[in-house]
């Protein structure tokens, strides 16, 4: 599944957009789903190039909304590619 989603990410964003092995301290239950069904998990960067950075649980957090259609495109194209296999 990783290869499929990674391929879609490269098509949408280009080779340089993928950052492998990003460390994160967040808690996520997603891994329990992926034990049962083919799955892939990705983080989508939403930092605005012109606004100051605030972490996600800070009141100043203001993601770049231009990232939303990109995330949707990756998710939908990945699902369609999986269904086409």
Spatial distance between the Cα atoms of 65 and 48, rounded to a whole number of angstroms: 9
Domain CATH for 68: 1.10.150
Q: What is the pTM of this model?
A: 0.81
Cα gap 52→38, rounded to integer Å = 37
The tens digit of pLDDT for each residue in 53-72 reads 998 899 999 999 999 999 99
pLDDT (mean) for 13-42: 81
- Nearest Cα to 42, choosing from 83, 82, 72? 72
Domain total in the chain = 1
The domain in which residue 74 lies consists of 2-84
List alpha helices for the chain, DSSP H.
2-13, 30-34, 67-84
With a CB cutoff of 8 Å and minimum separation 6, the contacts of 24 are 43
């Amino acid at each position: 599944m990783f290869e499929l989603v990674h391929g879609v990410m490269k098509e949408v964003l280009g080779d340089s957009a993928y950052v492998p092995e990003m460390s994160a301290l967040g808690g996520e239950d997603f891994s329990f789903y992926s034990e049962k069904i083919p799955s892939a998990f990705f983080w989508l960067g939403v930092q605005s190039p012109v606004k100051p950075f605030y972490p996600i649980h800070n009141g100043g957090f203001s993601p770049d909304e231009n990232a939303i259609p990109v995330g949707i495109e990756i998710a939908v194209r990945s699902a369609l590619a999986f269904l086409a296999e």
